[in-house]
Structure 1
Amino acid sequence: MITVIRRGMKSRVYKGLLLVIALALAGAFSLPGIIKMAMSKTEWVIDINGTKVDRNDLVRAIMGQQELVEIFRTYYGENAELFAQLMGLVLNPEVLAFDKIVRDTLLDQATQKLFIAVDREYISQQLHNLPFLQQETPSLVPRYIIGPQGIEMNRLRNHLQKIGLTTADFEDRIEHALERSMTLVFVQHASYTLESEVKNRFIRENSGKKFTLLTIPMSTFLKKVKEQEVSQQELKTFFDAKNSKEKRYWVPERRAGIVWEITPRMYGITVSNEQIEKYYNDNKARYFVESPTKVTVRRIVFNNKQEATNARQKFIADPASFANDAESIATFSKNTHERDFEKAAFLLKNDGDFSPVIKTSKGFEIIQRISREPQTYKSFSSVSNSIRDSLLAQSFQHAFEEDVQQLKKRALQDVTVWQKFVDEKGGASKNIESIVNDNSPLAQVLFRLHKDGYSFYFSEGKGFVVKLSYIDKRHLPSLALLQERVTEDLYQERALTAMQEQFAQLKQESQGKSFQEIAKDLDAKVRTTDWINTKDQETLQKLTAEGVPTTQLLQLEKIGAVVEFTTGKEGHLGRLDDIQAFDEQLFNAQKTQLRRMQLKDAYQISQQAFVASLYRNATIKTNESYNYNQQ
């Protein structure tokens, strides 16, 4: 199977995809020190329905999730945490790894019960699907094994050796990943969508709605609960409960140190114009295609093969007659049409040539080539700078990694070799002020070190050497030091509970009273909205900024329906007053697209429900003697 990967790397599409990912997410994956620790001893850490997962697998999974977390943070930048919360994600590699192991194992067990297997040809095809490999098996295909020309085979072998896997293990895990994917495909295709669901989606997305909204500020409830003094015992009970369940008042561990930045310039690495030009000429068909090869063809479709075969003989004798009955196909490139049709079209050598009779989803076809446009390439001048940067980064990364790997070995006898190395290279130093483990590349390295220890990582075309100089252990301050904060938190929680209870009661009262009547005896504001439509983003953003719960309101589908919604700032009671008239003509125009979108949602829901059922019926145990925090 490794050979299959090597052959697949010759594909222009595949290598182009690799280059995009390698350049967009520049920087090597820093192999964590936990691998060495894990390999020293094997013990089970998770038991899933009797299937035991050993600590080596957990460590590999953590490593893979660290890779994905880094990609996520690179893509979303300073807003990564916010987007993660909106998606319901926790950017904690350990938590993500644990969940992925359990999910994959449950799906493996389901796959076995369903007798699902994939053939070797399909496996070979998917080995060229890099996004799939990096998502499903990130610990097997980390970024650092990807070079400008695709997967570096030596790096792949070295990587597998470092994480304790053989080539056979690699093949087996890829096969299991594909079987899991196939199982979910079968599950999703059991989904369906009703006409009423499609119509409701149209109404949600196109029909405007009017609402009445009753709002009470949190301050009203907070003022009331503060009328009752909190006892010291109540504070202690609250303080202990929050620390037991969610570690609310624990101060996280913080670490400080020094980081030295090493650049390609410090290595004296240069790239000549000849090297750049050679790389361009060797790879322009893979990476630098301006416009791919295109063909224009005609086709005729027949109901049976014999009819098509007889007709082909006639067309060969009288080529001009083909155009009378043929359908002309607009000029196209590869990967835009059905595979068998496309293959036959691009195999035609000359204009006017006929294909053999081929079988497609439409029937039995004969294709005639009308014209062919050869592929064109980006000019050397337009890509030379990016090639130079890529080759420079690759050369530097190789040299830097070789040096630090040697330093790690020598440092076992003499730790000062690290300091000598950065002094020799003239690395620019920067003090690391006290930081928490935010899973950034720097923090990941710093939080694996012992005090006064050194390590390294590679990111964005630069190398970094890190020294840990100070550790402030995680600790829980006394209640006395946090008295004011804990008191305010307790009041806030009581006020929120009171607000939720009040609005649950108001929702019941709204069945027989108007919002104006309800508001008379309360410190409440009542307002009505104009038409609100999900596609009117400007209005939605304005209302959301004013505190209006537009998402919850727009989910109402029946006139008179009421929804309650509370936040840390205020509580809302919303009622749907009117819906714009149904536009039958617009619905019919959008029906096909809406059904496709609704079915896509149904696919996702069915997969989630299937996995949730596996969790619900599973027996999952953890090895209490295993120190998860150590990892």
Structure 2
Amino acid sequence: MISLMRNSMGKRVYKAVLWITLLSLAGTTLLSMLLGRLGGGRSGVVVTVNGRPITARSLELKKAELTSEIRELHARLGGYADSILEMQGLSGKPQDIALRALIQKELLAEVAFKSGLRHMSPLYVSERMGDSSFVVRTMPEIIPLHLFKGGRLDGQALQKHLRHSGISMSDFEHQVEEVVALTVLQSILPSFVYSPRNEQRTGQRELKAQRSYSIIKLPLSTFIARESKKPLSEGELKAFYDKENGATKRYWSEDKRSGTAWTFTSDSYGMTASEVEIRRYYTQHLKEFDKKPFEEVKAKVERAVVLGKFKQRFAIESKQIQGSRVEDFVSKHGGVMRQLPLMSQKALASKKDNQAESLLFEIMRPGQTRAATSEKGALLVRLDTFEAGAALPFEQVKDRVKSDLIEEKALRAMSDELKRLTVLSTSGSFDAAIKSYEGVAIKKYSDLSPQSEQWPVLEKEGLPVARMKKMIHPHYAFSYMTKEQGVIVVLDKLEMMSGAPEKTEQAIVQSELDLQLFSAGFIASLNNSATIKHYEKSQRPEPVYYEE
């Protein structure tokens, strides 16, 4: 198995995976030793992982993020906070946890890069981006929650957010691909090690057991109603308004543009087609003309040839137009002018034939032009005026700010309640706690075998079927959130199906011996594995280049 792993991933990638396992076993002791020797300026490099730098600023930001999250959980959940933090792997010193997280991220990124996972299929990335629960769970820093409308990512809102944040589309796509690659890698990491006795039995239960579930749905509207009854001060609203405007310009007026559009036809260019060109095009596109005789479709073929030549020439010439040359170009080729009034992108969405207006919003500076061609001819658009958006007066959007703040508080409260109820799922007070919620919906699914025909139905309903099939502890639960509700999935019962005996004790003991041999090889490989270097004085970060 080890040789197969080395051949499939490559020796260096294999070692990096092993180091990830080592770091998870090392705990905070090794990290504390590293941190004890860190020093120097806050902007320098404090640790390198296989040559990739981790700066003191990154460490401080991660530590601050974790510290804030831990304090917030303690403030809201009280005695439940410690158990939830332990479940999430956040128990211990924030600085230790932060460094461990950053080191693991660098190792995972390197493994993903060298294993080829960075070359993600565009279709797969698009599929992942279409899963709103995946995006909300894995990309909260890249794609804020308010960019979703009706449970789906709003493309126009995303583009506006990226423009306001100064992020190019290529950088955004790179970040998304990196997140998707890391999640794929994290999903396959467990297959690189053997499983101990109890986990082998777990695997059998996953494959051969019948399960019964309770699906509990808590509507977001219930939490919104609760938060609406709580008073909000003017200061709270103003602080939320300032925070959102500073982060995403949420309460800003839209940019507006006006311009001029000119349309052109092949006739104005005086384009013609020779007999040879017409016959050649006919021969190459015979199916396009339903294999009709040449003389019958000759006029149609000629128009197609002329239009093609016109589009090609227009595309070349329109790229060379600058400033005052627009009028010369229009005069020469007989363009028909149309004024495009001042409008926002939201107004653009309501127009049916909006090719010219769409081009207008692709132009960044007044005086610049964009060109496009279609079956009807060609189009040239110039941006004449640009009015940048500005912060809307607080009083004007006060009601909207209040509604948004209440919804954010409701989402946070629902998240906390889901965590609390998930912890309670194994206790006798769980049922009473669930029934106390107004509007709660509980649905039961009984005796589902791994091959049950009901699984595709559950998947269409949006339930996380793959995760449900992996549940093996009765009365344990997990939870997740959608835009409209919080969902708790409880495994009520698990029974082995008849004719499916569990693995024999002898087979399990043999697997444990294999695991010991694997561990010995693992320890022997550490001397040649990942290099983690720390600095007593911070170093200036150097550019990192990967070797293909």
State the TM bucket, normalised to the shorter chain: 0.3 to 0.5
TM-score, normalising length: structure 2: 0.47
TM-score (normalised: structure 1): 0.42
